[in-house]
A and B are shown apart, each in its own frame.
Chain A
Amino acid sequence: MNAYLIRNVSVLGAAPTDVLIRDGVVAETGPGLSAPDAGVVDADGLVALPGLVDLHTHLREPGREDAETVETGSRAAALGGYTAVCAMANTSPVADTAGVVEQVWRLGREAGLVDVQPIGAVTVGLAGERLAELGAMADSAARVRIFSDDGHCVADPRLMRRALEYVKAFDGIIAQHAEEPRLTEGAQMHEGEVSTRLGLTGWPAVAEEAIIARDVLLAEHVGSRLHVCHVSTAGSVEVLRQAKARGVRVTAEVTPHHLLLTDVRAETYDPVFKVNPPLRTATDIAALRAALVDGVIDIIATDHAPHAVEDKECEWAYARPGMLGLETALSIALDVLGPEWDLIAERMSRAPARIAGLTEHGHDPAPGAPANLTLVDPAARRVIEPAELASRSRNTPYARMTLPGRIVATFLRGEATVLDGKAIK
């Protein structure tokens, strides 16, 4: 079908109208449209948002196809309202060459459910020792612009400086996993009263804050773009606030789970709550939420991190860190921000598209815009059942929680990827 007429939809919370999409773009908006050849979507009570863009997704392919594939992760993304995801580089083999990023990009095209934009590794094998061929990845068919060793910090300050400088040649950006490794050896959870009680080695907030402080100074010194992954502490927010006030070109993301869940969850020792950076405190959550509203934090990114059952159904210390996020992110945003549709569109679509340089994404549904959009039922409430998720893994921290909002339909360049809440393919 190359045309859809979406009837009575509220575009970003405005009064209901019709939206006609045809040949991959929004053709017309306004009440009472007619298009006999178009498929009709009854969108009474639904809100249209620009298709969501995730700057931080782990698709696990190549290497851990038992946990997720580009295809299953793409389906989870579409069901979560996403039209583009940026795939992190910590696959096996690592996405540190043109060959691997092109493979991931091609798998994304073949799945055809969201645009999969590969992220390239900063250093060879994520080892933090020497730069990967960043230029080759930038020039490849995957046109990589974001580089990250996510999962590992680019801890060597000289290497970080060089990376920041080098990618200026092709308007690249370094996305830093901020974690001073010497302060987090053996770390299992947020260092605080709960870690003391549970006897789990602490991951101090300062290990994140110290790296962000260093990196904003480096980015300022060399005039480069820095993106900070999964900001998790109140102290990090203050460092970012000051850097932005000085005009440093830094952007930052927060994950849905860091906006909602605290370190107290570790009390069960169920590693479904183990994540890196770890769940923090209520004070941190309050600061992160405020920063998301006032713009010190630019975007929500999922850090969707699927893991096989055996990597989570074990002792806490032996479990892999990470949580699913794609299929629940919008619900968490609604829960945390309320029906602030323009803010949600900015933090989950427009701003991430701008940071990633995805020019086809992040446009509000208006005539002429690429038809990448999603329809949300804000009145729906749903109970999260791990077995019902489209991801190949089950490690959601929201199991059996009731969350607001449901994605009813998603369109990628005018083609439905989700209709009636179900994936098309």
Chain B
Amino acid sequence: MIRHLLSGADLDADTATQILDTAAEMAAVSGREVKKLPALRGRTVVNLFYEDSTRTRISFEAAAKRLSADVINFSAKGSSVTKGESLKDTALTLQAMGADAVVVRHPASGAPHRLADWVDGSVVNAGDGTHEHPTQALLDAYTMRSRLGRLAGLSVAVVGDVLHSRVARSNVLLLATLGAKVTLVGPPTLIPVDIAPGTDVCYDLDAVLPSSDVVMMLRVQRERMNDSYFPSAREYARRYGLDGPRMRRLPEHAIVMHPGPMNRGMEITPEVADSSRSTIVEQVTNGVSVRMAVLYLLLGGNNR
């Protein structure tokens, strides 16, 4: 097993599959009346969050607690080299406290990589800047696999602000590893100018829908609207929003995903978000199981 989970690229197909399989076992535990396993008793997991993200933090917290780990929540919002303690000093502090795993959310891309150089414990990237969010990709893959029965050969459209999306980056890497075919869809201003060879790009959502097994809608940050990425929210919604008529162009079995939080009416309409194709609530549930699997395997459920 790998020591840190910093990027979707850290996972080969065997490791990723092992995590998904373990998550399925964890999900079975979560369905029991007593949802707790003793696997990580006496181990310490620190949630180090430099950004507000209640949903990701509580998902990791629930995962660690169900494995009986001691959980410390360290909210360092607003910290930077100019304001307060440096990341390195924080790392040394966590090291001194004996953190076995550090789950880190940070506004700067690459911060988890830096942290991994400075602590002995495992580092789990819970979202860094516009870089990656690998546990989100794992829970998305888990959700696809449980709904559609497989990952290899699936056609997945990732739609929206790919340029700034850590969810998209991790999904592109992981889905390629697991044999799915990804198409990036969005206005050209929100697709990076240089992307790895072999990734498909399409600027026309309607053209992609009939052949998609999965449509993954990305959140569009409100601040993009004032920065000339597209003319207006209305135009964005018209061209790239998923509404009822568009949803009906999908194959019957296709599912609609969103990492949350949603802008209802912007990238997705309530009709779609609340439809039976939508996996949005399942994704949250699956997130806990997948994060249990990640912590369990990284912290040596079976390797130390």
Chain A residues near B (Cβ < 8 Å): 188, 191-193, 195-202, 204, 268-270, 310-311, 313-318
Which residues of B sit under 8 angstroms from A313, Cβ to Cβ? 86, 88
Which residues of chain B have C-beta atoms less than 8 A from A268's C-beta? 113
Q: Assuming A196-B192, A200-B109, A316-B110, is B81 touching A311 (CB within 8 A)?
A: yes
Tell me which of B86, B114, B128, B194 contacts A199 (CB under 8 A): B128
**Residue ranges of B at the interface with A (Cβ–Cβ < 8 Å):** 80-82, 86-88, 106-111, 113-114, 128-132, 166, 169, 192-196
> Quick one: which of A197, A199, A313, A317 has the most chain B CB within 10 A?
A199
Set A199, A310, A314: member contacting B131, Cβ < 8 A: A199
- Complex interface: chain A residues within 8 A of B131 (CB): 198-200
Which residue of chain B has its CB nearest to the CB of A269? Answer: B110
Q: Are B108 and A318 in touch, CB under 8 angstroms?
A: yes
Which residues of the partner chain A approach B128 to less than 8 Å between Cβ atoms? 199
| 4 residue pairs, one from A and one from B, having the closest CB atoms | A199-B131, A269-B110, A315-B108, A196-B192
A-B contact list, 11 entries, CB within 8 Å: A196-B192, A199-B128, A199-B131, A199-B132, A202-B193, A268-B113, A311-B81, A314-B88, A316-B109, A317-B108, A318-B82
- Chain A residues with CB under 8 Å of B194's CB are 191-193, 195-196
Q: In the assembled complex, how far is the CB of residue A321 from the closest CB belonging to chain B, in whole angstroms?
A: 14
**Chain A residue at minimum C-beta to C-beta distance from B191:** A196
- Closest chain A residue to B86, Cβ basis: A314
Q: Which of A188, A193, A204, A318 meets B80, CB within 8 Å?
A: A318
Q: Is the CB of A269 within 8 A of B113?
A: yes
- Whether A198 contacts B109 by the Cβ 8 Å rule is yes
Q: What's the least CB distance linking B110 to chain A, in Å?
A: 3
Main secondary structure of the interface of B (DSSP, over half): loop
Q: Return A209 CB to nearest CB of chain B, in Å.
A: 15
A-B contact count (CB 8 A): 76
Quote the shortest CB–CB distance from A180 to chain B (angstroms): 15
A318→B130 CA distance, assembly (Å): 15
Contact A316 B195 (CB under 8 A): no
List residues of chain A with CB within 8 A of the CB of B195.
193, 196
Closest Cβ neighbor of A316 among chain B residues = B110
- On chain B, the residues within 8 Å of A195 by CB distance are 192, 194
- Contact yes or no, B81 A314, CB < 8 A: yes
Q: Chain B's nearest CB lies how many Å from the CB of A304? A: 22
- How far, in Å, is B248 (CB) from chain A's closest CB? 33
- Find chain B residues with CB under 8 A from A269 CB: 109-111, 113-114
Distance, CA A201 to CA B195, complexed state (A): 14
Best-buried of A193, A197, A202, A310 by chain B (most CB within 10 Å)? A197
Question: Would you call B130 and A199 a contact (CB within 8 A)?
Answer: yes
- The chain A residue sitting closest to B227, CB to CB, is A185
Alpha-carbon gap, A185 to B137, bound state (A): 29
Cross-chain contact of B106 among A197, A202, A310, A315 (Cβ < 8 A) = A315
Q: Which of B86, B113, B114 contacts A310 (CB 8 A)?
A: B86
Does A314 contact B109, Cβ atoms closer than 8 Å? no
Whether B129 contacts A317 by the Cβ 8 Å rule is yes
What A residues does B192 contact at CB under 8 A? 195-196, 202
A51 to chain B, nearest CB (A): 38
Q: Is the CB of B111 within 8 A of A315?
A: yes
B169 surroundings in chain A (CB, below 8 A):
197, 199
A363 smallest CB distance to B (angstroms)? 45
Closest partner residue, chain B, to A320 (CB atom): B81
B-side contacts of A314, CB under 8 Å: 81, 86-88, 114
CB distance from B162 to the nearest CB of A (A): 9
- For A310, what are the chain B residues with a Cβ–Cβ distance below 8 Å? 81, 86
Closest to B109 in A: A199
Q: How far is the CB of A60 from chain B (nearest CB, A)?
A: 18
